[in-house]
Structure formats: C-alpha cells, structure tokens
A and B are shown apart, each in its own frame.
Chain A
Amino acid sequence: MTDLPLDVRGLSRSFGRVEAVRAVDLEVRPGELVGFVGRNGAGKSTTIQVVAGQLLPSGGAVRVSGVDPAADPLGARARLGYVPEEPRLFEYLSAREMVAFVADLRGGGDVEAALEVAALGADADRPIAEYSQGMRRRAAIACALVAAPPLLVFDEALNGLDPPSAGRVVAALRAATRRGAGVLLSTHVLDTLERVADRVVLIESGRTVGSLDASRMGEVRRFLGADG
C-alpha cells in the first residue's frame, strides 16, 4: 500500500448474501480529480462509505493518505473531506457557524473562502433548519472544503445543485487539485465530469471494470447507456 491520497485494493463488502462490492481497485493521486461512475446499485456509495470510515470492509485494503479507515477512522477522517449522499448538519446552527465548528474540529480552516464556494450570501447566517436541500448540500460541501484536506470525497454531492452552484463547486475542486489534493467525485452528471475530471473509474456490479482518461467520455456514456 502507498501513501497516496486514496489507495483501494481488492475491496469487498457483503451484506449477508448480497455482495455490494466484490473487487474494487481505485487510486487517487495528488492533484488528480477522479470521477467514480456506475449505475445505481453498482457499489459506489458502499465503496465511499468504507473509504470514509463509516463501514467496515469485508476484504481488501483501503488507505487514506496511508491510514486504514477501519483501524483508525479518526485518522482517516482527518485526512479527507467527505460529503455523503445525504449530508447531515446541526439544524440549529447557521452555515457560517457549522463551517466554523468544523474548522475548529480540524484545527483551522478558511471559513470565508469555504462559504464563498457555498454562495449562501446572507442565508449563511440563518439556521440550517430553514435551508432547502440544495442549500444544505452546499453548506456540507463548505464543511468538507474548509480545512483543505489532502483528499476530497464527494458522493453524488452535485445532485440537486443549480448550474451556477455546481460550477462554483467544480471550480473549488479544481483549485483543490492545483494545491495537490486528490478528489474522488461520484456523480451521474457526465457533462461536469467531462470538463473537470482527469480520469474516470467505472464500477459495475461491485467491480471496477475500467479506468479511462476523461477525454474518452464517449465510452463512459456508452458504459452507462447514456449516449442516446
């Protein structure tokens, strides 16, 4: 195993007789934005949950900047910014307070820059309980970005974002790669991936079945059956 931002080898995860993930191999190198693409139920979210230290693997090995999330979940969390498919936030805080709180947990961070990505404007000072789903997602993204960790893992985090918001987030992810962070972006929005990804990893029935340069997005569309 390596100290790459993310190194996954032979990952498997079963739920009873159901093999959600059978054989996933995945690397995210410093400065690289990797798209993680597969149909619903292909095993993307299960893989990401194991990477984020939310779920134990059944087999294989995972390292987040050299740390095993199963053995040291806190160590792994410190090295990644994670936006789950359904982000959870403290409803009684404002986005500004929530992001500042996360910055504190992580030993510091640029709250204003992270809120700029979220583009909540004056709403950043309203309680999160009053936010729409899209605003919550943007607040969660700001939390993941605030401390500039070496790995960012976004699980369908662009879903439900309007184009300008998605554009701001994508720009922030590119900026993160320029400073050397790795990004794993699970999404169905292939147009976005085509613009920003360096590479796309394909997953099908719990197995990674290919790693394509982003210039070959046509093959990705055919893989997903999304070419027309």
Chain B
Amino acid sequence: MGAPTDGAQCSVRPGAVKTREGFGRFRGAGRAGVGYGDAVAPSVYDRLFRTARARGAGPSWAAGAALVLAGAAAGVAALPLLDGILAQAPRAGAAVERVAVRVALLVAAVAALRGADAVVRSPERPVLDAHPVDGRALTRALVRRAAVGLLPGLAASVLALGGLALRVGPGAWAAGALVVVGGGLGGLGVGAAMHLGAVDLALRPAAAPLLDALRGANPRPQAALIYAPGVAIFVVGAAIFLAGAGAGAALDGRPAGLVWAALPVALGLAGAAVAPRLGARLYARATLVLAEVDAAYGLAPRAEAAAEVYLGWAARGSPERLRALRAGWRRLRPWPVLLWAVGGLTALVAAGRDAAAPGVAAAAAGLALAVAGVLPARLAALDPPWLTRALGLGGLSTVRARAEVALLYGVGAWLPGLLVALLRHGGAALAPWAGLPPLALGAAGLGALAAARWGAGAAPRVAPVFLLGWTAFAAWSIR
C-alpha cells in the first residue's frame, strides 16, 4: 500500500462514465428505465447470472445432463409401475390422466418453491440491497434463470413418462408431457408472482388483521410469505387436474380438451409476465419485509428458541441440530409444510380399497423422501462461506445435523400414509413400506455429504441418484 494520496487524485468524478473495463459490456443495461422495453434482450442481470454459471457459482450443465439421463433411465425402470397403473385404467385418456397429473403436481410444487426462492430469497439480494436495481429487469432475469434451472428437471420428468409412448402411444406421451411441462411453468410463474404479491400483502396495513389471524407464532409479515407457496400450488394444482382431464379427453377423441391441457402453461406464462411488473414495485420492498421477519426471529430469547422451532424438542443436547432446525424453520418453511401435505395425500391414497393402495402410497412417500434428500444442500446454501469459516462449520457434526433435519422433516411425508395403510389394510400393508428407511437414510446421508462437499451446488449432483433410487423403490413397492 502506498501513502495516502491527495484527495484530488482519488476523487470520483460525477458523470465520468468509464465502464468499458471488466464488465464494461454491461454499460447502461441496468439503468432504471433504460432499455427494458424489450423483454427478450438480455439485461445486465442475465449477464451477471451467466458469468456466475460460467465461473462455477451455479448448477453445472453436467449435473443437468446427468439428471436428464437419470430421467430417461427412470422411464425404463418405472415400466412395471406404469403397467400397474395402466392395468386399472379403462381408456388411454384415463391412463395419461393418472400418470401425468401425479408427476405434474410434484413438478409444480418444486417449481413453485423455486419461483419463490428466485424472487424473494435469491442469494443475490444481500449484495444488490446496497444498490439501485431495476426491479422489473432483475425479476425478469431471476425468473428466466429459475426457468433455465428447471429445464433439466422438466426434461427428466418428461423422459420419465417415456413408458407412456411405449405402452399407450406417442400421442399419450405428448399429452402427458404437455401437462407436466405446464406444471413446471405454471408453478414457477405463478409461484414467483404470488410471492411478490405476498410482499405487497405483508406491507399493507389493511391486511394486518388477516395476517394476524393466520400467523400463529410467526411474525406478521412471515404469514404472507409462508402461505404463498401453498396458494400457488393450489392454483396450479387445480389447473393441472383440469389439464389432465383435458389431455385425457383429447386422447379419447375430443380435441377441445387440448385447450384445457394447455391451461397450466398459460397460467405460467401469465405469472411470468406479471412477476416483473410486480418486481418493479416490490423487489426492493421485499428486503424491508425480510428484515422485519429476520428481526422478529432475532428477538427470540435463546432459552425459548427450541420451543419456537418446528421439531425443536429433537435438538436437545445438539446445538448443531438446533442451528439447522432454526435455519430450516426460518428460511425453508415451505418444505416441512409441503412434506406434510404430501403425507396427507399419501394417507388418502392408502385409504383406497385396492390392495395395491399401500404400495402406491409408499411410492409417493418415497418420492417425497428422495426430494427431501436435497434439503441438506438447501441448508448449506443458507450458511454464508465467511460464517462457515468463522464458526468452523462443515465438519461431521454439521453433516449429521443436516441429514437429521432431512430425516425429521421427512416424517411428515410418510407417517400419515403408513398409519392409514395399517388401519385400513392391516399388518400386510407394512411390506411395501419396508424399503422406505434405507431410501430415507440414503437420501439424507448422501445429500448431507454432498452438501458438505459442494454446498448449494450439491442438489443437481445428487438429484439423478435420488431419482434412480426412488424409481427402484417404487417399482419394488408396487410390484
């Protein structure tokens, strides 16, 4: 370092535009109100995200390709499962409806969470909070990035439906693919728009009584954010059911059904179009809402912290587990909520009179547990690198705590279905569930180890393994 220099030498001159160095190609692209009439042109934010991906700060293309390959393999491995479902379907249309709607609902749930994460809790927010961003262009870029990130999963899901082409016909597969892709786009677009709408709701004094009625022990602004994914999934889920029926009708000779089949796609496009408009007004204000939420949680006295965290009782004697549970409850709350929702659905399935019902319910619970294996990576993403270094995190206790949180959250997905299956079908119903513990332990353990190695980037790396593991389990449980 040299000596202090004269002020005149190191002054920054107003209006002296010299941004051709470094990211100079970004010049002018991010200025509010400049150059954003064209929704197609990449903005400064799109370029930033591309740079991040190119420098390894985002999911790699190799991981995406592995997921797509795993989807194709799952399509072949799931043929026995498909045969079981098709055996009970009277028509081609009904077969598509049964298969595609289930897959599309799952894809929509994942996409809705990604949409929320993209616009509200994106990792860029703490950096950009110090600067005047163009909320519209930024939101558009965030949704675009989330859509690109969703592509491998969508492709894998469509390929996993490949059995429809073999067993029913290419038309059935195409109709199913339309419903599944619609689920993904719908979840993402509606999820993003819904979350920005939730920010608006959280800041409206008139909404305070409603939020107070809903919030339970949560801070008021958190109430709006908690329920936004559920509302998005409900809306898109209803559209998926209509789309499934429409696709089935089209395959059964009523082409007008295709209009309904495209409904989730239309919803997704509408959501993606609305989100940037909302982002222009609400992206920056979301920071204020998040600060209120974080401040409210920051006030919780430590002695009471365990009681205020979901499953806090399970953290006695394990500060690492309590830390992971607190992080999950603060930032990943839709996960346990959705896993319990899946548990409710598996209970409904298990209540069916069909002898295969416990096996189908176990397969559904297994899928949720495989998805829960990604939780450790999400938890790792919440620990900033400097904090990890400062606290000496990342050791075996952290790995174990993250895996335990995935297992604990996963209970919601299997417990209701198992109880109902036992009550409805007796002890014989246990057999299809026997493979669930190894699946859950494997997913949580592998997910936690991968999170320790790759942090937030672990999810796309382990997802193909989980998908294949689940396919094997599902084929076995429904055999």
Choose among B1, B31, B44, B287 the residue with the greatest number of A CB atoms under 10 Å from its CB.
B1
> What sequence of 0s and 1s flags, for each residue 13-26 of chain B, a beta carbon within 8 Å of any chain A beta carbon?
11111110111101
Is A148 an interface residue when CB atoms closer than 8 A count as contact? yes
**Alpha-carbon separation in the docked complex, A108 to B12 (Å):** 12
Task: Give 23 A-B contacts (CB < 8 Å), ordered by A residue.
Answer: A52-B130, A74-B132, A100-B19, A103-B17, A104-B30, A104-B31, A104-B44, A105-B30, A106-B31, A109-B18, A110-B13, A110-B17, A111-B18, A111-B19, A113-B10, A119-B2, A143-B130, A146-B12, A148-B12, A165-B1, A167-B4, A170-B4, A179-B13
Known contacts A91-B57, A92-B57, A165-B1, A175 near B10 by CB under 8 Å: yes
Partner among B3, B127, B296 whose Cβ is within 8 Å of the Cβ of A89: B127
**Alpha-carbon separation in the docked complex, A145 to B28 (Å):** 17
Beyond A90-B124, A97-B23, A108-B31: 20 further Cβ-contacts under 8 Å? A15-B295, A54-B288, A55-B291, A73-B285, A77-B284, A88-B130, A101-B26, A102-B131, A104-B27, A104-B29, A104-B30, A105-B31, A105-B132, A112-B18, A140-B130, A144-B130, A148-B16, A166-B4, A171-B6, A172-B12
Choose among A49, A111, A112, A117 the residue with the greatest number of B CB atoms under 10 Å from its CB.
A111
Is B165 an interface residue when CB atoms closer than 8 A count as contact? no
Chain B residues within 8 Å of A116, by CB: 5, 9-10
CB distance from B285 to the nearest CB of A (A): 6
Is B437 an interface residue when CB atoms closer than 8 A count as contact? no
Choose among B44, B127, B132, B298 the residue with the greatest number of A CB atoms under 10 Å from its CB.
B132
Is A227 an interface residue when CB atoms closer than 8 A count as contact? no
CB distance from B360 to the nearest CB of A (A): 44
Chain B residues within 8 Å of A18, by CB: 299
Chain A residues within 8 Å of B299, by CB: 15-16, 18
Chain B residues within 8 Å of A89, by CB: 127
CB distance A162 to B1 under 8 Å? yes
> What sequence of 0s and 1s flags, for each residue 126-152 of chain B, a beta carbon within 8 Å of any chain A beta carbon?
110111111100000000000000000
CB distance from A17 to the nearest CB of B (A): 9
CB distance A93 to B51 under 8 Å? yes
CB distance B291 to A171 under 8 Å? no
> What sequence of 0s and 1s flags, for each residue 77-96 of chain A, a beta carbon within 8 Å of any chain B beta carbon?
11000111001111111101
Is B7 an interface residue when CB atoms closer than 8 A count as contact? yes
CB distance B26 to A54 under 8 Å? no
Is A216 an interface residue when CB atoms closer than 8 A count as contact? no
Is B292 an interface residue when CB atoms closer than 8 A count as contact? yes
Among A154-169, those with CB < 8 Å from B are 162-168
**Alpha-carbon separation in the docked complex, A34 to B423 (Å):** 72
Is B385 an interface residue when CB atoms closer than 8 A count as contact? yes
